[in-house]
Structure 1
Amino acid sequence: MKFHMLHRVYLLAGVSYFATAPDVLADPVSLLATAIQGFLLSSTAIAATATGAIATIAANAIVIGGLAAVSLLGGRRGGAIKPSDAKSTFEAADSSVIEGIGRVRVGGMKAFGNTDGSTRWRLVARLQGPIDAIEAYYVGGREVVVDPDGSVTSPPWPKRSGGSWMKIEDKLGTGSETAWSALVTAFPSLWTSAHRVRGIAQSLVTYYNPGLTSGTYLKLYQAGVPDTEWLARASKIYDPRTGLTAWSDNGILACAHVLRRDPAFGFDGFDWDLIAASANKADVLVATKTGTEKRSRVSGMWAWESERGATMQQLMDSAGVVLRMTDAGKIWFDLIDDVPTSEIDFDPIDIVEYSWKSGPEAVERPNICRLEYYSPERNYDMAEIDLSGIAWARVQDEIDRYGPKYLDIKLPFCPSASQAQRIARRMFALSRADSGVMRTNMVGLAAWGRYYGQITEPDTGDIELVSLAAPEIDDEAGLVDIPFAIWPTLSAWNPAVDEADAPDEVPELGYTSDIPQPNAPTAMVQVVYPDTSREFRIGFSLTGTYDLSEANYRTYTGALPNGWTAMTEGTNFAYVAGDLEGVTVDCRVRIFNGEDGSPFSEILNGIVAIDNTAPTMPVASSGGIDAGTLNVSVHGTSLNMVAIRMRKRIYNDILGWGDWFDVVTYAGRPMQDLNFSDSAASQEVQWLLQCLTSNGTEGPGLVYHYTPPAP
């Protein structure tokens, strides 16, 4: 009798799971709007009576032939969702739950939409929750900034009278959601307190009507109400190193998270110590062509209804990992090294029979590698890397002799061009590798659960590093057949010669005008007004013709950025009330001319601090001295100024000039005209106007001198 022991887990998405969907998703709208049909589970149950070695073998041989059997059970093909589809806002009566890992750009499903005849509301179900945060918003493909109250503050949406013609309000899918009050109020017969949409990361988008005949309406809605998107940090995942569930794009942790979405794989079925060790390896910084990055990161989206085996394989390929089992039958994930370490050695004395096959025939063997990945540079879409000129990706001799034979590698969960190429080089080399089968005595059972071995060839004595496939055991003959592939010899990765450039970044949709990208902001400062109120400011220098500017800033939570926040723009600076002293901040700016907008500038990053460098002298805008009365309008130009103070001194014929004394101090911002007036009262007087910083540091003074006419 011959048994086939598969040491790799194949996950079969085939059995509908609806009745046991979690309570958190079981309210009316969750079921209706997102068509939560649950997982299509893997058929992975192991009999409760299985014990000992048999149970271990069963755990290691989950779903024999599972991937091939999917078609028999009507499983939905594919794994990762096509990014261009995920970014759209779609309507469907029946849709799978969509989950994101890492950082994703997502539209969503229109779960509800209605109007009261003027205002329109749209509820968009975006992702399975809970998610971590929203980093950016897009309206009609163009990035916008959304205030904490949901108001879209980027042109053309702000109202001149205050507020916005559009609101985007969000819930992160924590499971504690309540019904949207705006929908309950507007549609009490359609939307009730029972419509909670729990556990779904979602947006309620409100479109306000400025009047059908107004120019504003045509400006905003001439192509209909625009769709919206998020750039989001998606699902929170368990990290055994901290014992916490938090956002991470760690490739190892993400693989464990997605596999655990199938209830057949419980928490106790994983070796979390080994997973923690692998996660640490995934976080190690490696060299790239442009700097360094963590070794293994993943991002992307998948449908719970998709074929689970395909999803897991795409995810593991994108992360550069392999699923492994311990002797106790527990699951863990291991990074694949370019030069792995042998886990078992076979000498000629162990080998009964040995067959060798050179790699695929030259006329069939791949000789050109083509590579696509989930590209942030291409607005989170799949993008091909131009590998022309990269030696490892082409075998020119075979191309010349047999013509091009392509190996197309798609890594839909890989967000790094550098990582994708490191993985693709190994996959391309393995696709061309020699292979064979060795027949051993029962000592071959020791290869169970091992992935890498070393073989001393019986005929030549050569020592080869190999990857091992599943052993096949013939109990009657007492023999074990072990298929293997020769592990390719790979040189140490050298980014300078082995790595092609990532694709060029593409501008956001909608920025097709000739307005150039402005320079990055030049400065950031925290200021404290005389009344102790605080304000954060950034400075920038804009050139060319434009109607208005838009400046934003964002803070960080740990190492992760928060969403962008709008500021109030002035002339070459912007400000917002608040205390950001000591906080790490990004800031940026863009300009608009009519309906056309520039791309955002590059980002200025820094730690906010108070600057008490002496400010420049105030500049007179208008006014002067008339009949002994000073009446002037002046402004400061320094970014760090908080006030302008007027001082005065009087001349005495005997004692000369007296001491300066304060007349008045007015708080103000750069380029803000402040009015000062005072009377000389028939005396010779000097007035001194100076800009002040947060701690009262004064700059040089603007002096006005009045001499009364001779009697």
Structure 2
Amino acid sequence: MAETIGFAIVSALATATGTAITVSATTASVIGSLAITTASVGANLLISSLNQPKPRNETQQSVLNQAIGPRVGVYGRTIVGGSRFLFETRNGALMQGIVLAAHGIDAIEKYLIGDRYAQVVQISTDGDGRWQVTDFPQINVVSYENHLGADGQAASPYLLGQFPGIWTSEHRLRGLAYVAVQFLGVKREEQQLVYPQSYATPLRFLIRGKKVWDPTNPAHNPDDKSTFGFSEIAADCILDYLLSADGARFRRSKIDIASFQDAHNLHAETVARKDGSTEFRYRLSGTYRFDEAPKDVLTRMLATCDGRLVRGPTGLIGLRGGRYIAPTVTIATRSIVRASLAQGNDRLDTYNRLKVSYSDPDAYYQPTELQARQDTASQAQIGVVDEAIDLAMVPSWTQAARLAKIKYARDHPAWKGTLATDLSALNAMGEDTVRITYDPLGEVDPGPMMDTVAELPAFGLRADMSGCDLSFSAIDSAAYAWNPATEEPPRPALPTYVPPINDVPIPSGVNVSQSLRSGQAYAVLAWNASPRPDTTPQPQYRNNTGDDGDYVGMTIRSDGQSAEAGPLTNGQTYRFRVRFVAGGTPSAWSNAVTLLIDTTP
């Protein structure tokens, strides 16, 4: 019916104006459906309709103490902190409960204590697994019990055992991903070493976030979340946010699923890097708060794939962008009533250096700045004019570089402007790109003044139905081409590598001897040289009589392989040990050696 109405209206217009107007069946259907009101294509239409006054997102890598903490969602793989719901001592241990995400997650991959990853071993299947730290200095004193946020998850056995009668089987925290953490008490002289920030020792978690629907996977049932799986593919995460009750809240019947299937296949394509490795074309990783405006969240998500949400001729919301689409429709001079053109951006009205930041996994998913993309010729003429793009949900420097190239090309088109056309331009509705050929002198040899492929950021039908008004911006297929050998920038410098504890060698060949000087006894502790040149020794001793007293430091000798202490008390036994430290990370202590002081001649 809509198509019939559309053709009837177009025919009536043609009769009234005496002008032959040719439009496609699809265009006629759109005209009928919209009753000749207004149509728009190419822009993020959905974004503008989701503008709600909500606060911007804040960092999610801190553990917060709040009565009612922020509800946080997580897509892809990233590091998070969380909100404490429990912080109590019991039976000589500090117990913490930390919510990581306000939904189910796929897995907790790693645990960070301070600024390093802790090595762990699974010690039970309680909850979704209980894990014990196995490296120095938290070996056997820190443990975690995981709960991944299943709708039917049981209460924490850890907390049930530690808080009987207070924490009950009804405290299930269903639908919340959380960990129960236990800090065991340690000797007073070891507290500063094991818990350098005491009870506030920072805890963070590398997690695989929300399981989402992959519309290309037949095994995924959109009505059964238990069939979903983990995905970093941008299209899958964007689709999930659009449908989520804690996201944009759209019904599935309003979504163009086919466009998301097509986008998934594009985003899952592999792209080569200079070193020969590959990556998915468009990945997405990051967090959002439930009290954020959906437009803000979607803006961050769409930036990971050069994406835009559009309403097609049927009114469904689809995902486009991320690649070059050759045009199938041409708007020619004969259809153009009026034109306002600019050849390229005005160099005084645009930037010539684009600064780019992304979230690097090897920098703990903190903002990392990529080498700027710039136009040195323009800078020589007018100086440096900066623009910045924050790709907070992009976890790859090469993906960030490809997106920066696309943005720079889109913001510096060969042609841009506005056109007033007759109704034949309606054939361009719903197209990713169109070819525009225009010459103010008419279609004469040797060819049009402007012949370009362009995107249409805005497209409207005039109220008097006399024609269309549109804006255009040229786009070149070269913006999406990528040659890693010549275009891949150097990887940004990452934080100084702090070796894991097992990489710092334990001193060997440790021995102690007595040295007499003017009748007084001194101890000399010696060890073999470290196989790593970046280590420094840390020798200690204490009076072992009665097995009490704190360890104190020794004076390291100039050879770097021995240390001394004294004068020491005759008849007393002393204990000695040494460890190596590299990059702030210590090894385990050597085996202790003892020495009985004897000053008898």
Q: Secondary structure at the match of 1:322?
A: strand
Q: Gaps (5+ residues) in structure 2?
A: 1-30, 124-130, 221-227, 441-447, 507-529, 537-576, 586-601
Q: 3-state DSSP class of the match of 1:239? A: coil
Where does residue 75 of structure 1 map in the other structure? 54
Counterpart CA distance in 1 for 2:196 and 2:314 is 64
Matched, 1:99 2:49: no
Q: Give the structure 2 partner of residue 474 of structure 1.
A: 462
SS at match of 2:298: helix
When residues 57 and 384 of structure 1 are mapped into structure 2, their CA distance, relative to the original with a 3 A threshold, is: farther
Task: Supply the distance in 2 between the matched residues of 1:426 and 1:332 (Cα, whole angstroms).
Answer: 21
2:234–2:283 CA contact under 8 A, matched in 1:
yes
Whose RCO is larger (CA < 8 A, sep 6+)? 2
1:130 aligns with 2:104: yes
Kindly provide the amino acid, as one letter, of the partner of residue 133 in structure 1: A
Give the 3 Å change call, closer, same or farther, for CA 91–279 of structure 1 in structure 2: same
Q: Which amino acid aligns with 1:450?
A: E
Letter of the structure 2 residue corresponding to residue 135 of structure 1: E
Q: Which of the numbers 221, 240, 261 marks the counterpart of 2:215?
A: 240
Contact 1:455-1:463 at 8 Å conserved across structures: yes
**Distance in 2 between residues matched to 1:482 and 1:285, nearest whole Å:** 36
Q: 184-193 or 455-464: which moved more? A: 184-193
Contact persistence 2:147–2:179 (CA under 8 A): yes
Residue equivalent to 1:661: none
- CA apart distance, 1:479: 1.9
Post-superposition Cα deviations, 1:482-532, rounded to whole Å, max 9, x if no partner, equal: 111122463642212211112233246697999599xxxxxxxxxxxxxxx
Identify if the C-alpha distance between structure 1 residues 190 and 500 changes in structure 2 by more than 3 Å, giving closer, same or farther.
same
CA contact (8 A) 2:283 2:395 kept: yes
1:203 corresponds to 2:179: yes
Instruction: Say if 1:451 and 1:228 are closer, same or farther in 2 by CA, change over 3 A.
Output: same
Deviates more, 1:116-125 or 1:263-272: 263-272
Alignment of 1:635-674 (within 5 A): none
2:121 is paired with a residue of what secondary structure?
Answer: coil
1:110 maps onto 2:84 in alignment: yes
CA distance in 1, matches of 2:286, 2:426: 39
- Kindly indicate whether residue 491 of structure 2 is the aligned counterpart of residue 502 of structure 1: yes
Q: Are residues 146 and 466 of structure 1, via their aligned partners in 2, closer, same or farther at CA, if it must alter by over 3 Å?
A: same
Deviations 1:522-559 (A, max 9, x none): xxxxxxxxxxxxxxxxxxxx945999xxxxxxxxxxxx
Instruction: List 4+ stretches of structure 1 deviating above 3 A.
Output: 54-70, 184-190, 507-517, 542-547, 592-600
Tell me if 1:275 matches 2:289. no
Partner of 1:435: 416
Give the counterpart letter for 1:454 in structure 2: R
Following superposition of structure 1 onto structure 2, how do residues 552-567 of structure 1 map, counting pairs within 5 Å? none
The change in CA–CA distance for 1:117 and 1:57 in structure 2 (over 3 A counts) is farther
Q: Which amino acid aligns with 1:184?
A: L
Provide Cα deviations, 1:436-482, integer angstroms capped at 9, x if missing partner: 11111222333332231110113335321011023122131522101
Instruction: Report the Cα distance in structure 1 between the residues aligned to 2:532 and 2:146, rounded to whole angstroms.
Output: 37
Match of 1:293 in 2: 279
Q: How does 1:526-541 map to 2 (within 5 A)?
A: none
Contact 2:44 2:308 in 1 (8 A): no
TM-score, structure 1 length as denominator?
0.60
CA distance in 2, matches of 1:515, 1:428: 45
Query: 1:346 maps to which residue?
Result: 331
CA distance in 2 between counterparts of 1:326 and 1:593 reads: 71
The answer to whether the aligner puts 1:399 opposite 2:383 as a matched pair is: no
Deviation at 1:246, TM superposition (A): 0.4
From 471, 479, 501, give the equivalent of 1:483: 471
1:455 aligns with 2:436: yes
1:192-219 deviations in whole A, cap 9, x for unaligned?
33322111111100111134x3x33342
SS at match of 2:88: strand
The offset of 1:236, in angstroms, is 0.7
What amino acid maps onto 2:488 in structure 1? E
For the residues of structure 2 that align with 1:410 and 1:155, how far apart are their CA atoms? 37
CA distance 1:406–1:95, shift in 2 (3 Å): same
Question: Which residue number corresponds to residue 380 of structure 1?
Answer: 365
Q: Mapping of 1:79-228 within 5 angstroms? A: 81=57, 85-116=59-90, 118-149=92-123, 150-158=131-139, 164-188=140-164, 190-211=166-187, 213=188, 215-225=189-199, 226-228=201-203
More deviation, 86-95/59-68:
59-68
Q: Deviations over 1:258-288 (max 9, x none)?
A: 2222363122222323322221122221222
Distance (Å, rounded) in 2 between the aligned partners of 1:343 and 1:432: 23
CA contact (8 A) 1:379 1:508 kept: no
Unpaired runs of 5+ residues, structure 1, are: 1-50, 159-163, 388-392, 518-541, 548-591, 601-711
The alpha carbon displacement at 1:366 in A equals: 0.7
Q: How many residues align?
A: 463
The yes-or-no answer on 1:302 pairing with 2:276 is no
Helix, strand or coil for the counterpart of 2:242?
A: helix
Partner deviation per Cα, 1:343-376 (whole Å, 9 max, x = no partner):
4211112111111134443223111111111111
Inter-partner Cα distance in structure 2 for 1:59 and 1:148: 58
Q: 1:495 to 1:246 in 2, by over 3 A?
A: same
1:402 counterpart letter in structure 2 = I
Matched, 1:313 2:299: yes
Distance 2:485 2:296 in 1: 33
State whether structure 2 residue 315 is matched by structure 1 residue 329: yes
Q: CA offset at residue 377 of structure 1?
A: 2.6
* Structure 1 match to 2:238: 255
What is the percent sequence identity of the aligned residues? 22
In structure 1, what is the equivalent of residue 3 of structure 2?
A: none
1:706 corresponds in structure 2 to: none
> Which of the pair is proportionally richer in helix?
2
Which string of whole-angstrom CA distances, capped at 9 and with x for unpartnered residues, describes residues 610-647 of structure 1?
xxxxxxxxxxxxxxxxxxxxxxxxxxxxxxxxxxxxxx
Deviation, 1:117, is: 6.2
Cα RMSD of the aligned pairs, angstroms, is 3.4
How much does 1:380 deviate? 1.0
| Alpha-carbon spacing, 1:544–1:431, altered in 2? closer, same or farther (3 Å) | closer
